[in-house]
Structure 1
Amino acid sequence: CLNTDMKLSYDDMASILGKERSTIRGQINAIRQKSGLIEELIEKKGKKRVFIPEEIKEKLLKRAKVRVDKGKKTKKTVKKAA
């Protein structure tokens, strides 16, 4: 979901994830306070939209690629006894 430019509301995320809006708000606020990964926009109508800024997305995707590459190198195949 990192490769999208969508800015989702709490209601959007709640319906996608099948959780209560209040649960989503609490989880997003906890993430935002701890890490600074998530930013928030307030529309003219007052609706809040949350998103991951582009520079943070790039860092996260680079980190994920490195972890995947390391995982591929360290995998060992196990031969089954016949």
Structure 2
Amino acid sequence: MIPFNKCPVCGGEVIVKEVEKLFRGGNNTAIIKIQTEVCLQCGERVYSQDTIRKFEEIREKLKKKETGEYTLLGQSFSKLTCLLLF
């Protein structure tokens, strides 16, 4: 799976590692665990084109609220704050 012998950013060694990737689409968020190449020196993640296409599909599903294949983990809240200046 390692198409890069060295990190394209810093030239460091890359290894295959499981990482968590956060996705946002519309008001929805998903966390996906994937295996990808990670630089041991700078931490840069290197994704294949197929993986990037899958990321785009995930974001589109989240935007369209097509979340049936995901497990609900909790809820998120937001609050508009207003600063009163006297």
TM-score of the pair, normalised by structure 1: 0.32
Higher share of residues assigned strand: 2
Q: TM-score, normalised by structure 2?
A: 0.31
Greater share of residues in helix: 1
